[in-house]
Amino acid sequence: MLNTQSPIPLYRQLADILMDGIRSGNYPPGARIPSEPQLARDYGIGRPTVRQAVDVLVRRRLLSRRRGSGTYVRRPEQEIDLFSLAGTSSAFQKKGIAVDVQLLHKTKRVNVRADAENPFAGGAAFFLSRLNRVDGAPVLLEEIYLHPVLFKGIERMDLAGRSLSQVVESSFYMRPVGGRQTFRIGYLDDRKAAVMDVASDTPVLVVHRFLNFKQADHAVFSVLTCNTETFVFSQQIGGLSHD
């Protein structure tokens, strides 16, 4: 229980109790800890004090909040290599992590709006988007633009659950020969925040990827929105990775 006579603030005492529970396994990775109202009742303190304690462990990356669901013990962070034509789907699988890929926007030819970074801006491209989930939690949103001539016919292919790099190699006989990526911290609009199950004021990692082929530079452009609550996203130096 909490010691009201101790010089240590009550929220710190509660944070230590919760941390001991995590380390002892009483709250294993992925487990939901008691709600703030429940903790307030159990320890006879106010909810603001409980919130302070939880905030401490969130900042220490021991806990993570899920909007509308509760607060959970974070799983140990794992590193996922981003530099792959297939996004990170194959990278998750190579790490032995089961990933569920949901096709949000089926492949179709679109007119690309003005965007200083999109090489297809002002013209046409094939577009698709998909959401990667691990243990039911969204971890990566992929928005992919493909060259409108080199990938003609891809809109008629069923890409659900398939590796994009394998489709490109087996159906279009192409493999990337180079590329680049840019990394930045960004914030999501309400629609994307809802898809990623984060608050709109939660910072996320946004990666812009440009892939070059012998036939054309920047033939594939992707915007990757990464939730870094559980995974560390990295880039292999020294070459491209393929499925």
Residue 126 and residue 14 in one domain: no
Q: Which residues of the chain have pLDDT under 50?
A: 85-87, 237-243
pLDDT at position 233 is 67
Statement to judge: residues 60 and 116 lie in one domain: no
Q: Is residue 14 in some structural domain?
A: yes
143 and 30 fall within a common domain: no
Report yes or no on 2 lying in a domain. Answer: no
Q: What is the pLDDT of residue 239?
A: 46
Q: Residue 30 domain-assigned?
A: yes
Specify whether 55 is located in the same domain as 119.
no
**Is 50 in the same domain as 139?**
no
103 and 165 co-located in one domain: yes
Q: What is the CATH number of the domain that holds 36?
A: 1.10.10.10
Task: Let me know whether 66 and 82 are in one domain.
Answer: no
Domain count, the chain: 2
Q: Are residues 142 and 87 in the same domain?
A: yes
**147-185 tens-digit pLDDT:** 999 999 999 998 877 778 888 888 999 988 888 889 999
CATH code (residue 197) = 3.40.1410.10
Residue 241 lies in a domain: no
In a domain, 240, yes or no: no
Q: Is the pTM of this model over 0.75?
A: no
In a domain, 42, yes or no: yes
Beta-carbon contacts of 88 under 8 Å, excluding residues fewer than 6 positions away, are 80, 81, 82, 99, 132, 140, 224, 233
The reply to whether 126 and 55 lie within a common domain is no
| Last-in-domain residue among 18, 48, 73 | 73
Tell whether 190 and 223 lie within a shared domain.
yes
Q: Are 221 and 151 in contact (CB under 8 A)?
A: no
**What is the pLDDT, as a whole number, of residue 86?**
44
State how far the alpha carbon of 23 is from the alpha carbons of 19, 29, 122, 231, in Å: 6, 10, 54, 20
Q: Does 93 fall in a domain?
A: yes
For 151, the domain range is: 78-234
Tokens matching residue 165: 């790099």
Give the pLDDT score at 123: 96
Q: Which of 23, 49, 73 is the last residue of a domain?
A: 73
Closest CA to 225 of 126, 139, 105, 97: 139
Report the pLDDT value the prediction gives residue 241, as an integer from 0 to 100.
46
Q: Is residue 182 part of a domain?
A: yes
pLDDT of amino acid 178:
86
Residues 65 and 34 in one domain: yes
Q: Are residues 68 and 83 in the same domain?
A: no
* Domain-terminating residue out of 73, 92, 113: 73
Task: For residue 156, report the phi and psi dihedrals to the nearest 5 degrees.
Answer: -95, 0
- Measured from the Cβ of residue 216, the count of other Cβ atoms closer than 10 Å reads 13
Euclidean distance between CA atoms 120 and 29, whole angstroms: 43
